[in-house]
Amino acid sequence: MSTHTFPTSGDAYDACQTGIHFAFDGEYPVETGDILVIEKEKVVGIADTRPVAVTKERGHLHTPAAGVALCVCLEGRLPSMDVIDQAKKLAAERGWPVRD
């Protein structure tokens, strides 16, 4: 699992679709289960074909439907629940509210 920081959630979404994070210092692969951080929008998410926000702010990322757990929204494609926990921890360290 890698953590990627993006200027916008739209950039993060695009990187999930192309599998490449174009950064100032090079290109990095984005894989399912990687963590996405968008400081400007106060969004933390998890990379997937349909990337999902773990924060209440979501930007252009998806969110689970009411009553649906985040792990269900990602259809079990995550390597482990540790990814969700790590993403929520990163958000909490920044003081950003996370989804239940």
Which has the closest alpha carbon to 60: 3, 28, 15?
A: 15
Q: Which residue has the tokens 């984005």?
A: 30
Rounded CA-CA distance 100/69 in Å is 8
Q: What does pLDDT average to in each consecutive run of 10 residues of the chain (100 residues)? A: 94 93 82 94 93 94 74 59 89 93
Q: Which amino acid is at 30?
A: V
Rounded CA-CA distance 46/99 in Å is 13
| Collapsed DSSP state (helix, strand, coil) of residue 90 | helix
Note if the pTM is more than 0.75. Answer: yes
Domain assignments of the chain as residue spans, ordered by start: 3-93
